[in-house]
Structure 1
Amino acid sequence: MINVDIDLSIIIPTYNNIELLKKCLDSIFKQNLNSIEIIIINDGSIDGTDQYFSNNITTNHNIKYYKQQNKGVSSARNLGLDNANGEYVLFVDADDLLYDEKLSSYVAYAKSNKADVVISDYLVKFYDKEFQVRPERINIPSLLIENSIQGKLHSALWNKLIKRSFIEENRFDIKLKYMEDQLFWVYLLLNEPVIKYFDGFVYIYNQFSKSGCQLISYNSVVESNKAYNRIIEVLADTTDIYSLKIFTNRCLITTLLYSDYSIANLCFNKKYIDSKIEKRILNKVLILSYLNDKEYITYVVKCFFLFSSKIKFLVKNFLKGDCK
């Protein structure tokens, strides 16, 4: 094989998502970056993914295709990292999209600024609504850790271009089923990367195509708590007590909302919310109010009850009172 320098490795785990993956790949093929490799990891799909790539892999030499038994997204991403050759790495979800012709300038910006991590703006699609997100420009890793654990910065990796040599031997924790991104991100920040921000929208996050968001189960709550505890353990010696307390509280907030997964499933699936459901939601907010974190409660409501003006109105009125 001819040794060609590769600017970017895009790592895409996929599990039973072939139709959305095709759209994702189409958005990548529209990019104006030639020195690229697209690493697809089929994590045990049974929806025709393997057959599709068996028939089409020879038509695009930029694609590297791997398959494994279903082991989860962490294992799939680790396999992608083990086989990546690009100077930079971008993790992409199979059901998301990239803006047209942005990768070339994104990578060029990273290289010209000698950045270890470049964070971009992104668009969130949420059912029939969408909103733009422009992260606060903070370049100090310790402050980014605090913002991440306080919920002020999204810890997902898909809007972060990462220098592969900086990742070194870091890998995703295969024991975690949820929030593996956040733990990986914390580890990266503890190594004090050179961080830059790209002024432009690169990534389109389809929030409610996520199976994990659509079905909230008791198991997902347990797994999330496992991740929370792991992050607290990692940060115990490096982060101030106040930030860890806020993080712990926000873990509780998210868990409390998710724990009543019948509420979450009703809301996520846009079904009718009757007065009984409204009372249960408000009871949750009542419990949350004792944690004295109105800012995060409002954020959660905005994210998870965005389509329901009635719920937003009820919670907004409830939050007018002082939290104890």
Structure 2
Amino acid sequence: MINCPKVSVIIPVFNGGQFLGRCLSSITNQSYKNIEIIVINDGSTDNTKAICKNYSQNDQRIKVIHKDNEGVSTARNIGLDIATGDYIYFADADDYVLQDSIENFINKAMTSSAEIVVAEYYIASDSHKMKISPKEFNDKKSFLCSILSGTNHSALWNKLFKKGLFDNIRFNNNIFYMEDKVLLVEILSRIQVNIEILYTPVYIYWQNQDSITNLKDKSILKQFEIYTFLINELNYYDSDKDIMESFSYGFYKSMYFVLRNIELSFLKQAITIIYDLQKELSSIGLHDPNNMIHKFVLLSIKLPPSLSYNVIKKFRKGLNMSTKTITYYKKYKLL
């Protein structure tokens, strides 16, 4: 039995100079020392290279790979290819890791024989900090359902993985958005794996203003690129009704979120993309929505284009007015 297993920490970075030093400091100062830190500089044009050089000169556990920009999936795959650890941990360059995180991860993995450990984390910004706990699950199937439905976050940074899970699985180099969800679904649909929850925060997920702004521009439409891939993966492994219903709920939740939040200038484009995709997915296993709001939105996008746009526009306005009213009543303690 390995008493002090090695952990490979993989950090892809592209123009992350603003926060990279904070991230690297949080990892080099971990209470658990048997780690290697693999930084993949994915074609950065800022001061990322200089920061990597400075940190690697002062800590021999840091390995730096400089490469042309090809995206986060390719960068992480390079990290997996050269990793020598018994466990794999992924961090993002603009976030940071709490000091005892890897030690807590390893203790949980060793005592429970878990191949995936899912932990608590914080969402933070300049104005707030909120702890998020994983929703409980009973087994691999229920965890897969929670990832597909969005009940549990598909991010990698609150999870520790046994390295053997990646023997035959890699990130899809052609996927640049929600690649973490695709990877998790592949692992969970193909491999029998023991998963445990660590009820201790391990990570600070930092929300900067740019990421908040991007929730409304057309970049949020990129998430729909993964759904055909996911449903084909699930169909190939003969997923049952519960799994397919969770997939369907996750799709309709994304549909609702995008149509409610995207800037009006991109709303017509969003309606077209979602209508075409829903039609395609329905032919290969997408279930009808059970949620009444999801049903209404789906019926709305099936109307003639100009009518569909006007209905959803008015629906958004009504929701925004309701939200403002509730906020007002709560502010003045009328609710």
Whether the 8 Å CA contact 1:228–1:251 is kept in 2: the answer is no
1:296 alignment partner in structure 2? none
2:76 alignment partner in structure 1? 77
Say whether 1:223 aligns with 2:229: no
Whether the 8 Å CA contact 1:217–1:261 is kept in 2: the answer is no
One-letter identity of the residue aligned with 2:200: G
1:247 alignment partner in structure 2? 250
Say whether 1:102 aligns with 2:101: yes
1:213-292 matches, within 5 Å, as 213-216=212-215, 220-236=219-235, 237-240=238-241, 241-260=244-263, 290-291=296-297
**1:27 shift after superposition:** 1.2
1:196 alignment partner in structure 2? 196
CA shift digits 1:20-63 (9 cap, x unpaired): 01001111122111110011000110112113333442221010
Determine helix, strand or coil for the equivalent of 1:89: strand
Distance in 2 of aligned mates of 1:228 and 1:144:
18
Normalising by the residue count of structure 2, what TM-score does the alignment of the two structures yield?
A: 0.74
CA, structure 1 residues 62+221, in 2 after alignment: closer, same or farther (shift >3 Å)? same
Deviates more, 1:152-161 or 1:124-133: 124-133
CA, structure 1 residues 242+186, in 2 after alignment: closer, same or farther (shift >3 Å)? same
1:200-215 matches, within 5 Å, as 200-208=200-208, 211-215=210-214
Whether the 8 Å CA contact 1:139–1:195 is kept in 2: the answer is no
Whether the 8 Å CA contact 2:125–2:208 is kept in 1: the answer is yes
Deviates more, 1:161-170 or 1:200-209: 200-209
Whether the 8 Å CA contact 2:253–2:294 is kept in 1: the answer is no
Whether the 8 Å CA contact 1:221–1:258 is kept in 2: the answer is no
1:295 alignment partner in structure 2? none
Distance in 2 of aligned mates of 1:111 and 1:90:
15
CA, structure 1 residues 194+61, in 2 after alignment: closer, same or farther (shift >3 Å)? same
Distance in 1 of aligned mates of 2:94 and 2:21:
9
Determine helix, strand or coil for the equivalent of 2:53: helix
Determine helix, strand or coil for the equivalent of 2:123: strand
**1:116 shift after superposition:** 0.5
CA, structure 1 residues 220+228, in 2 after alignment: closer, same or farther (shift >3 Å)? farther
**1:145 shift after superposition:** 1.4
Higher Cα radius of gyration: 2
Where structure 1 has 5 or more consecutive residues not aligned to the other structure, the ranges are 265-285, 293-308, 318-324
Determine helix, strand or coil for the equivalent of 1:224: helix
**Identical-pair percentage:** 30
Distance in 1 of aligned mates of 2:16 and 2:252:
34
CA shift digits 1:84-113 (9 cap, x unpaired): 111111110101111122321321221232
Distance in 2 of aligned mates of 1:261 and 1:123:
31
Deviates more, 1:221-230 or 1:169-178: 221-230
Where structure 2 has 5 or more consecutive residues not aligned to the other structure, the ranges are 268-291, 299-319, 329-335
Normalising by the residue count of structure 1, what TM-score does the alignment of the two structures yield?
A: 0.77
2:110 alignment partner in structure 1? 111
Distance in 2 of aligned mates of 1:56 and 1:28:
11
CA shift digits 1:251-279 (9 cap, x unpaired): 31133235427799xxxxxxxxxxxxxxx
RMSD of aligned alpha carbons: 2.8
Determine helix, strand or coil for the equivalent of 1:290: helix
1:305 alignment partner in structure 2? none
Determine helix, strand or coil for the equivalent of 1:110: helix
Whether the 8 Å CA contact 2:101–2:203 is kept in 1: the answer is no
Whether the 8 Å CA contact 2:21–2:51 is kept in 1: the answer is no
Distance in 2 of aligned mates of 1:100 and 1:311:
42
1:303 alignment partner in structure 2? none
